[in-house]
Structure formats: C-alpha cells, structure tokens
Amino acid sequence: MYTPEQRPSDLVKDELPEVDLAQPTAQVSAAPTEDEILEAMKDVVDPELMVNVVDLGLVYGVQVDEHANATIDMTLTSPTCPLTDKIEYDTKYVLDGLVNSVTINWVWLPPWTLEAITEDGREQLRAIGYNL
C-alpha cells in the first residue's frame, strides 16, 4: 500500500537498460530555453495513455539555471502510478545533451485533471479511442 512517505516509484521497479544518465555525454555550456525543454519532453510518452507528458498537462513548470541544470515540476495522472521510473528515465534520456542535469520535482497539488490536457493531447487520445 502507498504511504505519503514513499515515492510512487518505490512501489514498482521497471527493468530499464543500464545507462548512466547521471554522467552526461558532454558538458552543456548554453542553457536551453523552457520551450526547448518542453519540445524535447514531447518525446516522453506516458506508458499507460500513450500521449506525451507535455500534451497530457503533466509538466507543471520548468526552471533552468545559468549552468544548464533543469528542474522540472511534474505530476502524474495518479500518485500510485507504477511507471514513474520509466517516465523519470525517459525524461533524463531526452534531455541528455540539452542540459547538464535534470531534477524532477514530483508535485501533487494541484491534482492533475482532464482539463490539463492540451488540444493536441485530446486529438491523440481520440485517435486511440478515448472519448473526450
């Protein structure tokens, strides 16, 4: 059972490839813009809904410091999402080479709702059979 002291990713451990994403391939000198990070994050797909986390409205905020280190405020469709590790891995993977480090700040307030989905996200969900 999930307790507030646990992270959702503590409940299930995905089998992911052995890649050391803590060590970026090259040091980034110029900090990317928030738009560049959000565009890259469109390659991070929620494994259950098969829509990217940006269009699902799961990314609440992006901060990039002068050293090209990114902090992303993100939520999940449910605090008990068993695929948190996969989303964390994919986020670090798509931002490798764009930023020097990535910190995901999992937030739960405000809670995610269907209203957060962009129109592009709604079209993607309709294409796979959801009625929104």
Query: Which H, E and C letters describe 20-36, residue by residue?
Result: CCCCCCCCCCCCCCHHH
* Band of residue 1 on the pLDDT scale cut at 50, 70, 90: very low
Average pLDDT over residues 42-62: 95
Domain ranges of the chain: 31-127
**What confidence score (pLDDT) does residue 81 get?**
83
User: DSSP label at 123?
Assistant: H
| DSSP annotation of 112 | P
Dump pLDDT digits (tens) for 76-107. Answer: 998 888 889 999 999 999 999 999 999 999 99
The amino acid at 127? A
Give the predicted TM-score (pTM) of the model.
0.77
For domain 31-127, the CATH class is alpha beta
